[in-house]
């Protein structure tokens, strides 16, 4: 039961992905938080771009924005949702060499027309999408359903995950007058080499400015919001992601008797630094030619990486798996001896917690939010390929070091639970509700 006044909070949540259809950490973070909130007695109505489930569990209602357009006048509370198959896979973040320019407006003009564009769906995409085919158009359609949804559901709180849903949240707040919480899992400055896409950045900024409170997944992310977007620091609350430790962590196979295997798992994009990973792999192989490296994931850098491994003559030691299912991810953790997070800019890094839960030695870049909550990992600066290679060699060469990292890893994880995350989020809800007043005009 929710804490204050013994009241069951009703949360209208806008999300972009949710199991079983996920493209990255955003979906899994949303899933972990929602499950924990339900256990605490809150009711969550989750609006996704497309309906992906036929079930309605106690405390959770999942609606697809595409389906909602046909049922907004019906009684929602007892609605039985039929399964609607996804027309297209959920699009993961990706990057291209030239950032998409969705308009040629000046910065001042973009700020003036942003809210109108959100309401009317008047984005004007040019060239190819930065984030995958048709993603911008899908975001646009999704945002346009917000007014109808907000006008036909009963809720206390609006909670949005990342820029993909911030436009929907802004409109829902305008229509309902209910407080808005924007949850920032990543920013455009993380995803892109430069400033990235203009309108995505303005959506991120507008959402954070218009929100009553902002949840950031790390101080690393909070600093970006303060320095790059000018968001007031007191408005941002750091809420780290969590891990489900209900099961007993399993141990990987170990390094004795077989060639060591080192894992990269994530989107194969600029942000995740896979190019630094293979450069370090090349240096490792000059000393230990038996080591095998696994790159699990997909993204726009795959072609480059495969070409680069051939240039260096290490293609026989690099396995590209492509995107993995949940079961395949677990098997990947169980089959390797070390996990590396090589990200250039990582707001948090849920895969690190997953790897640690499998009692893997972990090496992470210092440019990651997860480094703020861990002690028993090895750290390096993402650009320092020599240092990364040295750490890899240390883990696979010295069993005592690897064992110490495995044994201590769980100590870091038990305090990081999704229940603690949900408790902090719920506390933020109540503090805002108790001080809430009608929102100012966004004109």
pLDDT score at 166: 93
390: its two tokens:
């040295």
C-alpha–C-alpha distance, residues 303 and 290, integer Å = 24
Q: Which residues of the chain are in CATH 3.40.50.2000 domains?
A: 4-242+418-434, 261-413
**pLDDT of amino acid 186:** 93
Q: How many Cα neighbours within 13 Å face the side chain of 423?
A: 6
**Residues counted in the chain:** 443
Contact 358, 251 (CB under 8 A): yes
Tokens of 370: 């997860």
Residues 6+ apart with CB under 8 A from 66: 49, 50, 51, 84, 141
253/7 Cα distance (integer angstroms): 48
- Going by the DSSP 8-state scheme, the letter that residue 295 receives in this structure is E
Judge contact between 319 and 306, C-beta under 8 A.
no
Contact 273, 243 (CB under 8 A): no
Among the listed residues 294, 371, 388, 299, the one whose alpha carbon sits nearest the alpha carbon of residue 334: 294
The candidate with the shortest Cα–Cα distance to 152, out of 68, 48, 84, is: 68
Rounded CA-CA distance 234/226 in Å is: 10
Report how far residue 382's alpha carbon sits from residue 368's, in angstroms, rounded to the nearest whole number: 10
Q: Please give the CATH topology (third level) of the domain spanning 261-413.
A: Rossmann fold (3.40.50)
Give the predicted TM-score (pTM) of the model.
0.80
Return the beta strands (E) in 297-347 as ranges.
318-322, 338-341
pLDDT tens for 322-360 read 988 888 998 999 999 999 999 999 999 999 999 999 999
Higher model confidence: residue 368 or residue 72? 368
Q: How far apart are the C-alpha atoms of 277 and 382, rounded to whole Å?
A: 9
pLDDT tens per residue across span 100-153:
223 333 444 434 444 555 455 443 433 333 445 566 677 777 777 776 777 788
* CATH 3.40.50.970 is the classification of domain 4-242+418-434: no
Integer Cα distance of 250 and 416 in angstroms: 18
Cα–Cα distance, 239 to 219 (Å, whole number): 9
The chain-wide mean pLDDT, for the chain, equals 80
Q: What is the pLDDT of residue 78?
A: 34
**pLDDT confidence of residue 69:** 41
Tell me how far apart the alpha carbons of residues 97 and 326 are, in angstroms, rounded to a whole number.
Answer: 30
E strand intervals along 279-346: 292-296, 318-322, 338-341
Does the pLDDT at position 196 exceed 90?
A: no
Q: Is 154 left (phi over 0), alpha (psi -120 to 50) or beta?
A: beta
Q: What percent of the chain has pLDDT over 70?
A: 75
């Amino acid at each position: 039961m929710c804490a204050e006044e013994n009241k069951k909070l009703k949360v209208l949540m806008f999300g972009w992905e949710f199991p079983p259809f996920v493209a990255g950490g955003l979906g899994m973070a949303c899933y972990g938080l929602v499950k924990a909130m339900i256990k605490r007695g809150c009711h969550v109505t989750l609006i996704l771009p497309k309906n992906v489930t036929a079930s309605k569990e106690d405390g959770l209602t999942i609606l697809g924005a595409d389906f909602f357009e046909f049922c907004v006048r019906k009684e929602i509370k007892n609605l039985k949702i039929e399964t609607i198959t996804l027309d297209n896979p959920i699009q993961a973040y990706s990057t291209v060499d030239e950032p998409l320019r969705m308009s040629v407006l000046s910065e001042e003009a973009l700020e003036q027309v942003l809210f109108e564009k959100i309401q009317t769906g008047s984005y004007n995409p040019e060239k190819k999408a930065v984030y995958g085919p048709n993603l911008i158009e899908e975001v646009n359609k999704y945002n346009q359903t917000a007014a109808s949804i907000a006008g036909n559901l009963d809720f206390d709180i609006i909670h949005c995950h990342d820029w993909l849903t911030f436009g929907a949240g802004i409109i829902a707040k305008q229509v309902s007058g209910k407080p808005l919480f924007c949850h920032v899992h990543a920013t455009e400055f993380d995803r892109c080499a430069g400033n990235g896409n203009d309108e995505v950045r303005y959506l991120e900024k507008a959402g954070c400015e218009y929100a009553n409170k902002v949840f950031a997944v790390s101080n690393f992310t909070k600093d970006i919001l303060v320095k790059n977007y000018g968001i007031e620091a007191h408005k941002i609350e750091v809420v780290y992601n969590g891990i489900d430790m209900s099961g007993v962590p399993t141990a990987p196979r170990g390094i004795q008797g077989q060639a060591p295997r080192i894992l990269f798992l994530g989107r194969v994009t600029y942000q995740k630094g896979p190019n630094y990973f293979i450069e370090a792999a090349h240096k490792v192989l000059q000393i230990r030619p038996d080591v095998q490296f696994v790159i699990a994931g997909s993204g726009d850098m795959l072609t480059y990486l495969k070409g680069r491994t051939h240039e260096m003559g290490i293609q026989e030691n690099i396995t590209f798996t492509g995107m993995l299912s949940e079961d395949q991810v677990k098997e990947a953790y169980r089959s390797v001896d070390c996990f590396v997070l090589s990200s250039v800019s990582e707001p948090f890094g849920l895969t690190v917690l997953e790897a640690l839960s499998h009692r893997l030695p972990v090496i992470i870049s210092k440019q990651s939010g997860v480094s703020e909550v861990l002690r028993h990992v090895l750290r390096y600066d993402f650009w320092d390929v020599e240092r990364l290679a040295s750490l890899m060699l240390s883990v696979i060469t010295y069993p005592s070091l690897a064992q110490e990292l495995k044994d201590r890893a769980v100590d870091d994880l038990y305090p990081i639970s999704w229940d603690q995350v949900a408790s902090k989020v719920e506390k933020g809800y109540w503090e805002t509700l108790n001080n809430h007043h009608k929102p100012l005009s966004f004109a």
